[in-house]
Structure 1
Amino acid sequence: MAKARIFLFIFMFLVHPIFSNQLGNSQFQTLVRIKQLLNFPEVETSSWSEVEDEDVCNTEATQILSLACYEGNITQLHITGNYWFPHLSQDFSAASLFSNIAQLPNLKVLSLVSLGLEGPLPPEIGGLVSLEILNVTSNMFHGSIPREMSFIRNLQTLILDHNRFEGEIPNWIGSLPALRVLSVKNNSFSGSFPRAFSSMVNLRALVLTANNLSGEVAELHNLTNLQVLDLEDNNLGPHFPSVPPKLVSLVLRKNRFHSTLSADEVGSWYRLQKLDISSNELVGAFPPSLLSLPSLTYLDIGGNKLSGKLLHNLSCNGGLTFVNLSENRLTGDLPDCLNQFGERVVLYDGNCLSQTPLHPQKPVSFCHSEALAVGISPLRKEKRRPYGAASALAVAVVGTAALVGLTFLFVKRELAKRHHSAGTRLIVDKASPALTLQLLKDARYISETMKMGALGLSPYRTFVVDELKEATDNFNALHLIGAEVYKGWMTDGTAIAIRRVKVKRKHSIQTYTHQLEVNSKLRHSHLVSAIGHCFECHQGDSSVSRILLVSEYVPNGTLRKYISGAEPGQRFGWRQRIAAGIGLARGILFLHTGIVPGLYANRLKITDVLLDHSLRVKIKKFNLPLLAEQGLPKFGSMSGGEEQHDVYDFGVILLEMIVGRAINSPNDINISKDILSVSLTADLIARRSIVDPAVHKECSDESLKTLMELCLICLSNEPHERPSMEGVVWNLQFAAQVEDTWRRDSTSNQSSPCQSHATPAETYE
C-alpha cells in the first residue's frame, strides 16, 4: 500500500505540470464569449484556436488584450479600447459582459478601459467575489455604484475615473475592509463627503477630483496609511480638513476652504512632497515653515487670501521645483532662497512684495486693508495654541520610540538570519553582514543621503530583499505599476520603483558585475536613474535566480498622456513639447555618448518616456542586458549605424507630438509622413491644419517648419540620411530659440492663454 501511494504521488507530480499551464475548457469558452460580446477583431485573437484545451495563457499580449494565469486559472484580464475598438452591437448588454466575466472564479485583476460601456454598472459585478483590483476608467457608466459591489470583500483597488456616475458616494463603501485605493475622479458624484472614509484605516490613496461634493471634509487624521489625498475641483469647505501626517500628496485646489492654516499641523507634514491648495479662499498668516518642509517639491498656494510678511532670509527646502505664491496678500521681500531660480519655477505675481519690477504687485496698503477686512493683522505673529508644545513633545516621544523599535526589529531580524536559514537564499554582493545591518539601522537617514550623489539621488547601493519586501508589502499586487514592476516606499517615505527580472540561465553573481556597474552609471536628468540592486539566488548552487533593480519613481505618467491621451485643454503647449523633445534627445544622446561603450537600439516609444514632479521627461527603457530575455548580449556590439535606429524612434515620437494623435503602426507613420511632406510646401493655413488643434494657434511658423523638417528627416527610409543625435538636439534648440524670438516680437501672442502662466516643462534647458 505504501509503495502504491508513493507511485501515485510521483505520477501526479510528473503529470501536474503538463496540465497546470493549460486553461480549463470552461474558462476558455468564457473568453470566447467575451470576445464575441465585444466584437474582437480577428487579428487580435488569431492565435486562439477553437480547440477546447488551447492554452490562451501563453499567447502574447496585444494593444487591446492581455491576461495572466496562475496554475491554470485566469487571474488578470485587461481589455483596452481605442479609436477602432470596440464596435459594440445595438443589443450589447453590460450585464451579460459582467455575467460572463464572473465565470472566471479566480479573477483578481479586471481592467476594462475606454470600451464605451454605458448604462448603470450592472449588479452582476457582485459576482466577482475574488476580485482585488477593478478599473473601469473612461467609459460612460452612469447612475450610482451598485450595492452588490459590497460583496467583493477582497477588493483593494477601485478606479471609476472618467465616467458619469452620479448621486452620493455610498457610506457602505466603508464596509470594504481591504480597500486601499479609491479613485472616482471626473464623475458627477454629489452630496456630502462620506463619513465612512474616517474609519477606512487601510486607505492609501483617495482621489475624488472633479465631482460636485460639498460641505465639510470628515475627520481623516486617523488614516495613518493614507499617502495621497486629492479633492480638487469640488465645493468642499469651509474648514481646512484634518489630515494624517504621513501624506505624500495633498491636493485641495478649487474648493471653498476658507479657514486658516495651522502652523502646528503644517510642521507635522514631514513626508509631504506635493501641496496644492490654490484657488480657495484661505485666510490668515502664511506659515513660512511650508517652504522648508523636508520632502516638499511642489507648492501651490495661489489664488487665496493668505497674508504675512516674508523675509529675505527665510529658508527653503533645496528640493523645491515649483512654487506658486501668486494672488495672495503677502508683503515684505521674496526670500533669497526663491530668487535662486536655476531649474526651479517660482510665481509670485499679485501680492504686495517689494523689489520685484518684473512681476506686477499691488500696493502694500491693499494687502494690509484686505487682511484687516477679514480680522487678521499681517504683522502680528501667530499665537500658538496652548497644547502646541505638548503635542510637539508627544510627537518627539512617539518618533523616538518608533525609531528604537525599528532598530530593535532590524537587529533581531539580522540575528535571526545568522541562526536560521530557510526559503530563498539571499546573497548580497560587495556588502558584509555588518555593513548590511548598518544600512538597515540607518534607514532613517536615507533622506539625508539623498542630498548626496548625482541629481540629488541616493548613492547607488546594494539592497537586501527584506528591505524591498517591506517597501512593497511583500510585493503586493496592489503596488504593481507595470509588468513585474512595483512601486515601493522606503522608511523615510521616498517612493521607488522595483523591477523583478527573472534569470533564465544559471550564472554566478560575478557574471553580472559589469552590467550592474554600467547600470549604476546611468544617471542623467533625462533618464530614470538606478538606485541599487538586490540578488535572489538558488538555494542549491548559489546561482542567481532573480535580480531586483531599484530605480527612482517617476510619478506623472507617460509623455503620451500629455500629448494625445488628454483632453485638448490639458495637453502640453507648443513650448512644452519643444522642451520635452530637447530633454528626450539629450537623454538618448547620453545613452550613446555618456558611457563607453554606448547603448544603442533602445527601441523607444512615447510610452517609454515618463514625466517627473516638475514635468521633466525621463526615459525609462534602455537596451540593458539585464533586461534581455535570452542570454547576456554585449554592450557596444552595435555598429555606428545603430544610432540611426534611435533617431528613427525619436522621429516617431516627435510625429505624435506634432499631430497630437496616437501613432501606433507603420501605416500611421507613413500616412502622417505624407501629410507632413505635402504641408511643408503648402501655405501657412494648410500647414497649421495638420497640427494638433490644442497648439496650432500658439506656435510660430518657423519653429513649426523646423520641427516638421526634423521629423521627416529622422523618419527617412535610408538610415544614412537621418541626422545624428547631436544634430537633433541642435535643431530642437534652434526651434526653441526662434519660438521665443517670435513670442517676444509678436504683440498678438503676449495675450495668448499660453503666456498667462508657466509650468516647469515650458522652460528650455
Structure 2
Amino acid sequence: MAKDKHHLYIPILFQISIFLVVFLVPPSNGQLQTSYIQSLLRIKRILEYPLALNNWNRWTYFCNIPPTSNLTVICSNSRVTELHIVGDKGSPTLLSKGNLKFASSNQSLSSGFSMDSLFTTLSKFSDLQALSLVSLGLWGEIPGKIDRLSNLQVLNMSSNFLYGGIPQEISSIPNLQTLILDDNILNDIFPNWVNLPSNLSVLSLSDNSIHGLIPSSLGTSKGLRLLNLSRNSLSGNVPYLGGLSKLEVLDLGENNLGPQFPSLGKNIVTLALRNNTFSANIPSELGSYAQLKRLDLSFNKLVGPILVSLFSLTSIQYLNLAGNKLTGSLVQNLSCNKALEYLDISDNLLTGKLPSCLEAKLTNMVSLYGGNCLVNSDQHQHPYSFCQNEALAAIMPHVQKKESKSNLALILSILGGIVGGLVMLILSVLLILRRMGVNKGENLVSQKTEAVNSSMSLSPRLTPNSRSMPQMVRLGTIGLPPFRKFSLEEIEDATDNFDSSNLIGEGSQGQLYRGMLHDGSMVLVKCLKLKQRQSPQSIMQRVELISNLRHRHLISILGHCFMYYQDSPGVSGVFLVFEYVYNGTLRSHISERREADTLKWPQRIAAAIGVARGLQFLNTGITPGIYRNNLKIEDILLDQNTMTKLCSYNLPIIEEIMVAKVGSESSFKGQKESMDVGRANDGDKEDVYNLGQILAEIIVGKPIISPSELEKLRNQLQASFTAEPGALRRVADPSIRYACATESLKTAIGITLKCLSKDISCRPSVDDVIWNLQYAAQVQDGWSGSAQVSGEFSMKNLSAQVSGEFPMKSWNTQVSGEFQVKN
C-alpha cells in the first residue's frame, strides 16, 4: 500500500516541479539580465507607452525581437548594445521653432516627462553603442549625464522637441561617430567645443534654430565625412574646412552665411550652399573637384563669369546655380558630362547662344535656363539690355572707390554751383509768372488736371510688402515679361479684329479670345464690358491689384488696355492680356494618356511643387492675399517644359471692375478687407485641402470625380501608409509603381493625408507642403545612385555606408529607418 502511495506521489511532484520551473524561475530573455529587463520596461513607462513598445512585458525575449523600422534591440554577451525606437509623434512646426518657451502638446510627451529620468535609466546600459530615439515627442534639454553612455558610437534623437544647447559632455564620449539631432528646436549658439570627439564622422543638426558663428574648432575634426547644418540661423563666414580631407557631404543651405566662399577639401561629393549670402566669383578650384556629384549654389549673391568647367566635372550629376548674378556667354562647344541629370542656371545674367548640350529638348536631363538673356532659348528670356544693366549694378558694389580730399572739394563746389543756379532760375520763373498775372481760373484748371494725373498713378498702399514676402515667392516672378499697357491697335491685331475663329469662350464676365503678339508669343485676351460708366482713376486702382498676379506658376497677366467712350473720358471696357499655355492639363498628362506618355514620378513631384508654389504666391505673395481659390486638377495647365500653371483662381476683383460706381472706392476697400480676413476664416486651409485632392490624383493616377471617391481613396492611402512598404506601391499609379523610391512615395502620401485631414487645425501650411514635396524630390533624385543605409541598424553596415554618398536630407531618415511627415 505504501509502495502504491509512493508511485502516486511521483507524478504529482513532477507536475509541481514543472510549475515551479515555468512560473517561478524568471525567463532567460535571450540570456538578458533581470536588471536590464526592468530598465527596458521603465523606459517604456517614461516614454509613455509608445506603440512600438506595446508588446514589451517581463516575459518578452528582448534579444530575439525581430528588427523592424520602428524597433530594433541588439544584444551581445547578454547585454544590450543597440536600441532603436521610432515613434509616431509629429516634429516641431516652424511656429514652435520660433518660440522661446516650450509648452507640451499632443505631439509631444506630457508635462510629467523628464529627460533626466530617461537618461538616468539609459545609463544602466553601459555597453550601449547605438541609440536612436526618433519622433517620440521628447522635450527638454539634453542632460550632461549623457556622457555616462561612454561606449556610445551612434546617437540619433531627430524629430523631437529638444531645446537649449548641446551639452559639452557629448564631446567627452570617446567613441562617438554619429550625432544626429535634426528637426528639433535647439536654439542656442553653435557649440564651441575645444575638442570634438576624435572619431566623429557624421554631424547633422539641420532644421533647428541654432544661431551665431560656426566655430573654427569644427575645422579640426579630421574624421568628419558628413556635416549637415542646413535650415538654421547661422551667420558669418564659414571657418577653414580645407583640412577635412575625409569630408564628403557638406550641407549649409538656408542660413545667413557669407560673404566669403568656404575653403574645402577636394574629396567633396555633395556640396549644398543654397539660400545664403555668398558673393563674389565662384572659386575656380571647384572646377577640379573630381568626386563632386551634387552642387547646389542657388539663390546666393554670386557674380562674375559662370565657371564652365563645372558642366564637365567627372562625376557631376546635379548642378544648381539658379538665382544668382552670374554673367557672360557660354561657349558653343561646351562639353557636358553625360551623367548630368539635373541642371538649373535660370534667373542669372547669361547672354549669347545656349550650347546644344544644355538644351532641354536635345538631352534627357532636366535643364532649366529661363530668366537669362539667351537668344536661342525655348524658355523665357529677358532682353539683352536687362542683363547688361543688371550685371553692371551687381559689379559696382565690389569696385573700390578711392577719392582724395581735392576731388571731394571739387564735387562739393560743383554741387554748390548747381544748387545756386537752380535757386536763381526758380526766382526768375516766379517773377515772370507774377508779371504775367496768371488768373485763378487757369490755376483751378491746372490743379484739376494735376489731381486727375496723380490719381492715375499706382497707389502705394496696394503694393505688396516686399520685405515680408518670402524670398522664394518674390523670385517666382523672375522670368516673366514686365507688365505693360497695350494699345487698342495691338489688341485688335493680335486677335485679327476679334475674329470668331479666335473666340475661346464667353461668360457672364465677358469674352475670351486667343491672340498672337508681334513678337510671336501667344496670349489670351479677356474682354470685360463695364456695366456702369467709370473713371480711369477708379478702374486703375483695381487693375493695379490684378497686375500683381504675376508668378511663373500662374497664368499671369501681361498687361491691360482701356476702351473709352467717345463723348467723355469715362472707361467703357477693359482688355486684360494673359499668357497662353497650350500643352494640356495636368490631369490629361496623368490619367488621360497612354501609360508610356504619362508623367514620370520626378515630373509629378515637380508638378506638385509648382502647384503649391502658385498657391503660396496667391496666399502670401501679394497684399491682400487671395484665398478660397477652389483649385482643381483640370484647371492646372502645363507648358512646353511641363511647368505647371494655375489658370483658375479666385478673382472677385474682376466683378468689382464691372459693377463699381464712378469715383467710388468703398467697394474696392471692402473687397480688400474681405480678402484680408480670408486667412482668418480658414480660407488658406480650404486651399490646402484642395491641394491634397490634386496630390492624391497625382499619386494614384485616376480621376477623382466625387467626394465619396475621395473619401474612399483617403482611407486606402491611410491604410497603405501604416502598412508594409509593398502596400505603398500597390496604391500608386502602375506607371510609376516601381520607378519611385519608397521614402519619396511615403513622404508624398503622408503630406497628402495631412492636407485631406477632416480637422482643419491639423492641415499643414502651404510652406510645409512645399517642404515635404521638396524632400520627396531630393530622396527620389538620390535614390538610384545613393547608398541606402540598412533599416536593421547594423553597426558594420552603418559605418561602411557613412563613407559613401548620402542624398541630402534623406540620409538621416535612412539611419532612423522611418520618415515622419513634417507638420
TM-score (normalised: structure 2): 0.46
TM-score (normalised: structure 1): 0.49
Q: Which has the larger radius of gyration?
A: 2
